Structure 1
Amino acid sequence: MPRPRRSPAFAAFVAFTPSRLAPRTATWLIAATLGAGALLPQAAEARVKAAHPSVNVTTVLPQPVMAGLQRAHVPLSSVSVVVEKVGDRTPILALNAGKPMMPASTMKLVTTYSGLSILGPDYRWRTSAYADGTLDASGVLHGNLYIQGTGDPKLVPEELIDLVQKIHKAGINGIDGALVLDKRYFDPSTRDLPPFDDDSTAPYNVGPDPLLYAFKSLSFTLTPSPDGTVAIDVLPALAQLRIDNQLHATNGPCRGDAASISPTVTPQPDGTVVALFTGDYSMRCDPRTVNVAVLDHSAFFAGGFLALWQQTGGTFSGTTREGAVPAGAKLVATHEGPVLSDIVRDINKFSNNTMARNLFLTIGAAEERPPATTAKAARAVEDFLRRDSLNPEYLTLDNGSGLSRDEHITALALADVLQRANASPVAQVFVESLPIAGVDGTMRNRLANQGAGGNAHIKTGTLRDVRAIAGYVASADGNSYVVVSLINDPHSEAARAAHDALLEWVYEGPSQGFTKVSAPIEEPRAKPRKNPRKRAAH
């Protein structure tokens, strides 16, 4: 008989959740047979035993998962796993469940659930324009135009053009003063941070900003032309950008990767920015796109705004700078960005770090007033979790995106977040934001031809030495489960098969069981000292 398959948009999780969650009770204590490691920290283990002293079973992970870990040379001491039935916070499977681990991008689950709950799914960011000066009969503003940002994570060309057109509708067609950017909504300490790793041009390294535009990244598309040249198109347009195309077309085989065709981007003394392309490009290659983060946020936003301004007939003869909107300036236009529910979908489906960091800071500004800082954001999230009956004791927040080696959470705590989110008013929006195995997002190429394909909403996480999955699985037996697995190990990259095996095992139905063995449990580790405000470091 074929396996039952649910629609990719299934919402089974909410249906299986009672209105009030039972308190966390027993857990299966899992012994490490690939190298016994510490299980729950002492306090967490004591709570488990006090809640259900009769549970004292040691066992191993399901055989396919064990086999995947063995092939990857990952010991169980480097793995933390929790599997629970949705609506029942008693784990049916738990390994190192209270051990603080680096979660990579699964930390976005904490940020997005907190954001949806605190701000509301219909929350919209506002980007506003103010005029300070006089407007003549021809529509020229004799004075400054101010653009004030509040951290819209998706201020892309299709959105910013709305603000530009509204400024035109207000009668302004030219600016002979300055274009001034008001970025006070985020504290200066949140800007110009060092990249997570050595690749400062990687879009995933782009930091947060109140006037984040197009993720501060350019997409160059190279297309061979019939006349033997290579055309280069770029999005978004920047007023100060010039492309120097010195590519040499060849008839040889198509070789190389995106890195081999990346441009050298250099600011010039006259204020222009040159993107230089050199080298050979085979006419046999299909069009290729390379994404590059360039400039600082202010220069990038100004260039993007002015490109749209000029494309729509606007004139500009002044300079650009940062500054505060003066008290007497007149509000002339406001753009409202997409609703938060759409933003959260982009963050989780595609694991967008920059959008998550802007959301994180927005939470801090909303709860403790601007300017936002990472400390305010961390406090706001932790306070919300406490109000939501969740314990942030082993949670360490840095930037809210998981792109950090200073962010930690336990599998048990992350499972608690998933349980609470599924029982909350934002459950449907939250669950549907997660990638669907074999269908979309970061899970589109995983488990497509297996039972879990189409039946698992799973957020993934990847850093050097870190692999993580967390989300929900609707099993073939009609139940739904919370699944969390965090691997912190130098060989974690090779353990993807073990994670896929875990998801498939849950889909097949955890009631099928697995082999039990006896093994000693090591002494628990001391709780690591928290430093939630420290910057991310590779």
Structure 2
Amino acid sequence: MWWDDRNCARASTWPGRRRGLRLGAGLVLGAGLPWAFASTRPAPGAPALARPSVGESLLRGCGLPGANVGAYARALDSDTPLVSLNPEKPFQLASTTKLVTAMAALDLLGPHFRWRTMAFTRGTLLRGRLLGDLWIVGGGNAYLRTQDLQVWMAEWRKLGLREIIGDIVLDRFAFQLTEHDHENTPVPAADRPHHMWPDALTLDEGRLKVRLNPSRDGRPEVQLEPPLAGVRIEPSRLGGSGCTAWAQWSDTPRDAEPLIRVQGSLGPRCGSREWVLAPLPHAEFTTRAIAGLWRQSGGQLHGRVIDKSHPDRRSLIPEGADGEPQLPFATHISPPLPQLLREINKTSDNLAARNLMLALSRGFPHRPATLPAAQARMREWLTKQGLGPGDIEIENGSGLSRAEKAKPRAFVDLLAKAWHARQAAALIDSLPVAGVDGTLEHRMTRGAATGQAHLKTGTLLDTRALAGYVKARSGKVYAVTALVNHPEAARATPSLDAFIEWLARAN
């Protein structure tokens, strides 16, 4: 089983916060002793030892072996670490990987980068009728939504397109991926929509919303978002006055219509119910959704919606009849990169992070992105940041791969450099804020770190991680990384939060 930040239980406040936070017998926080550690005396004649790190006290609090925890923290105006625990040992990053992807994207793509989805008329448009095909060329936009397409299709109609005599062709030229590219990440499943694989033309991240609205006659209305053409809904078992309705994607024979079963009861006094599923591969999901949305918009289609996963051309822009690049009929543009990063980092969006990683491929989008090309560009960029081989390893940019690792010291070096970069504000603004929003909304809700710690979280079954910036009461800002790799890593969450609280009280 694979977990990420959004399907683990959020840590809550732990007992004793108002009286002071205790980790083991050595570290006391909040009781007027912000730097109280257990006494450690060097042997006679030995050089004086540095005060034991907070990481060691963290370990005593959570009961995990010291070798399984890495921590590093230093003030941005200092080269001397305040905390250094296993600083040169590589640890799995989980979703803190997205922070590295964000830094690289801001530097390499720039703040004005946007994903573009283009529509091309492959024929003559005459009196509202397209005598040919309409091509929709995906540009990797992970945040293309049903609402976006509804607005976009309304624009097509204003431009005079009402009827398509040929086909709608979905073109995925922008990404060229292989099965090998996904072997270190979990397989998507209907009940795990956050595991969808990257795709150049995706809609609603491959997620289907099934919504039930109660009615007075006892026959609830079933809505699908997006509307999927050719999907059958079976609400025959839905009835009664209770509020126990549920929806399920049902396996059907390969040649049969896909089926959604809605069962239980939803009486008139019940509120609406909604389920999120990821029932189909990207290609089939998007094909059925485009057909359903075009029909819903009032458009007519005489042909079919066809998936073209492997276009037979060399450039993103198809050529016209004269052999020259064709102008798009219409273009949908995503929000700029800073806004995309807020979505990715605040919610820990795996699919969007993976699509953004692919966008790092040199020449994208005019040349198709490949994962090896994106990885090579990332390695080049990390080297330019002054990091050495093995300091930070990024595979797909999301943290779902256990091959994505970093040394705590190297991660903090990268964070410190990013703080002084031109796009630092966009990076910091994208991070969850302790006790305020994102994946940290319900953590560190009362204390010195509340509102002062901007941190990316990371969660797998065997990993808990935090990385980012903490502003201490002294006014100093600390770059910090704390990584725990252990089968019982979840036990470390309160200690990680206590570590950040302690850092927020630092001088």
- Residue 228 and residue 112 in structure 1: after superposition, are their counterparts in 2 closer, same or farther (change >3 A)? same
CA RMSD of aligned residues (A): 2.9
Alignment pair present for 1:307 and 2:307: no
Match of 1:136 in 2: 126
Superimposed CA distance per residue, residues 508-536 of structure 1 (whole angstroms, 9 cap, x where no aligned partner):
11x4xxxxxxxxxxxxxxxxxxxxxxxxx
Match of 2:144 in 1: 155
Q: 187-196 or 269-278: which moved more?
A: 187-196
Match of 1:319 in 2: 304
Secondary structure at the counterpart of residue 263 of structure 1: strand
Alignment pair present for 1:60 and 2:60: no
Distance in 2 of aligned mates of 1:365 and 1:236 = 33
Unpaired stretches in structure 2, ≥5 consecutive residues? 1-24, 27-45, 312-316
Alignment pair present for 1:204 and 2:199: no
- Residue 67 and residue 378 in structure 1: after superposition, are their counterparts in 2 closer, same or farther (change >3 A)? same
Q: From 309, 333, 338, give the equivalent of 2:335.
A: 338
Superimposed CA distance per residue, residues 43-70 of structure 1 (whole angstroms, 9 cap, x where no aligned partner):
xxxxxxxxxxx998455333xx656544
Superimposed CA distance per residue, residues 476-528 of structure 1 (whole angstroms, 9 cap, x where no aligned partner):
1111111110000011012110111011000111x4xxxxxxxxxxxxxxxxx
Q: 94-103 or 188-197: which moved more?
A: 188-197
**Contact 2:432 2:455 (8 Å CA) reproduced:** yes
- Residue 262 and residue 86 in structure 1: after superposition, are their counterparts in 2 closer, same or farther (change >3 A)? farther
Distance in 1 of aligned mates of 2:159 and 2:397 = 38
Distance in 1 of aligned mates of 2:379 and 2:129 = 49
Match of 2:320 in 1: 328
1:68-217 mapped onto 2 (5 Å cutoff): 69-137=59-127, 139-189=128-178, 193=182, 196-197=185-186, 200-201=189-190, 202-217=192-207
- Residue 89 and residue 219 in structure 1: after superposition, are their counterparts in 2 closer, same or farther (change >3 A)? farther
Match of 1:38 in 2: none
Superimposed CA distance per residue, residues 61-91 of structure 1 (whole angstroms, 9 cap, x where no aligned partner):
33xx656544533111100001111243431
CA shift for structure 1 position 309: 1.9
Q: From 418, 429, 432, give the equivalent of 1:432.
A: 429
**Contact 2:75 2:479 (8 Å CA) reproduced:** yes
CA shift for structure 1 position 178: 1.4
Alignment pair present for 1:275 and 2:272: no
What amino acid maps onto 1:451 in structure 2? A
What amino acid maps onto 2:174 in structure 1? Y
Superimposed CA distance per residue, residues 220-268 of structure 1 (whole angstroms, 9 cap, x where no aligned partner):
234555544544333222233332224545567x78xxxx935124467
- Residue 389 and residue 198 in structure 1: after superposition, are their counterparts in 2 closer, same or farther (change >3 A)? closer
Q: 445-454 or 484-493: which moved more?
A: 445-454
Superimposed CA distance per residue, residues 120-173 of structure 1 (whole angstroms, 9 cap, x where no aligned partner):
111111111111122333x11121111111101211123223432333233221
CA shift for structure 1 position 420: 1.4
What amino acid maps onto 1:290 in structure 2? W
What amino acid maps onto 1:174 in structure 2? E
Distance in 2 of aligned mates of 1:168 and 1:369 = 28
- Residue 311 and residue 281 in structure 1: after superposition, are their counterparts in 2 closer, same or farther (change >3 A)? closer
**Contact 1:149 1:211 (8 Å CA) reproduced:** yes
**Contact 2:458 2:465 (8 Å CA) reproduced:** yes
Secondary structure at the counterpart of residue 243 of structure 1: strand
Secondary structure at the counterpart of residue 482 of structure 1: strand
Q: From 221, 226, 231, give the equivalent of 1:236.
A: 226
What amino acid maps onto 1:379 in structure 2? A
**Contact 2:174 2:365 (8 Å CA) reproduced:** no
- Residue 367 and residue 230 in structure 1: after superposition, are their counterparts in 2 closer, same or farther (change >3 A)? closer
**Contact 1:348 1:459 (8 Å CA) reproduced:** yes
What amino acid maps onto 2:81 in structure 1? P
Distance in 2 of aligned mates of 1:233 and 1:140 = 30
Q: From 473, 484, 500, give the equivalent of 1:476.
A: 473
- Residue 431 and residue 349 in structure 1: after superposition, are their counterparts in 2 closer, same or farther (change >3 A)? same
Secondary structure at the counterpart of residue 188 of structure 1: coil
Q: 318-327 or 431-440: which moved more?
A: 318-327
Superimposed CA distance per residue, residues 368-407 of structure 1 (whole angstroms, 9 cap, x where no aligned partner):
9622111111111111222233335332222110011121
Secondary structure at the counterpart of residue 363 of structure 1: coil
CA shift for structure 1 position 181: 1.6
**Contact 1:103 1:466 (8 Å CA) reproduced:** yes
Secondary structure at the counterpart of residue 234 of structure 1: strand
What amino acid maps onto 1:298 in structure 2? A
- Residue 285 and residue 88 in structure 1: after superposition, are their counterparts in 2 closer, same or farther (change >3 A)? farther
Superimposed CA distance per residue, residues 300-322 of structure 1 (whole angstroms, 9 cap, x where no aligned partner):
22222233322222101212223
**Contact 1:81 1:485 (8 Å CA) reproduced:** yes
Alignment pair present for 1:443 and 2:440: yes
Alignment pair present for 1:219 and 2:216: no
**Contact 1:191 1:207 (8 Å CA) reproduced:** no
**TM-score normalised by length of structure 1:** 0.77
1:5-24 mapped onto 2 (5 Å cutoff): none
- Residue 225 and residue 75 in structure 1: after superposition, are their counterparts in 2 closer, same or farther (change >3 A)? farther
What amino acid maps onto 1:152 in structure 2? N
Distance in 1 of aligned mates of 2:476 and 2:369 = 42
Superimposed CA distance per residue, residues 400-445 of structure 1 (whole angstroms, 9 cap, x where no aligned partner):
1001112111111211221111110010000000001111100000
Match of 1:11 in 2: none
- Residue 474 and residue 249 in structure 1: after superposition, are their counterparts in 2 closer, same or farther (change >3 A)? farther
Distance in 1 of aligned mates of 2:59 and 2:235 = 48
Secondary structure at the counterpart of residue 459 of structure 1: strand
What amino acid maps onto 1:128 in structure 2? M
- Residue 221 and residue 143 in structure 1: after superposition, are their counterparts in 2 closer, same or farther (change >3 A)? same
**Contact 2:238 2:262 (8 Å CA) reproduced:** no
Match of 1:6 in 2: none
- Residue 397 and residue 175 in structure 1: after superposition, are their counterparts in 2 closer, same or farther (change >3 A)? same
What amino acid maps onto 1:315 in structure 2? Q
What amino acid maps onto 1:443 in structure 2? L
Unpaired stretches in structure 1, ≥5 consecutive residues? 1-32, 35-53, 512-538
CA shift for structure 1 position 284: 8.2
Superimposed CA distance per residue, residues 423-480 of structure 1 (whole angstroms, 9 cap, x where no aligned partner):
1001000000000111110000011122211111110000011000001111111111
Secondary structure at the counterpart of residue 143 of structure 2: coil
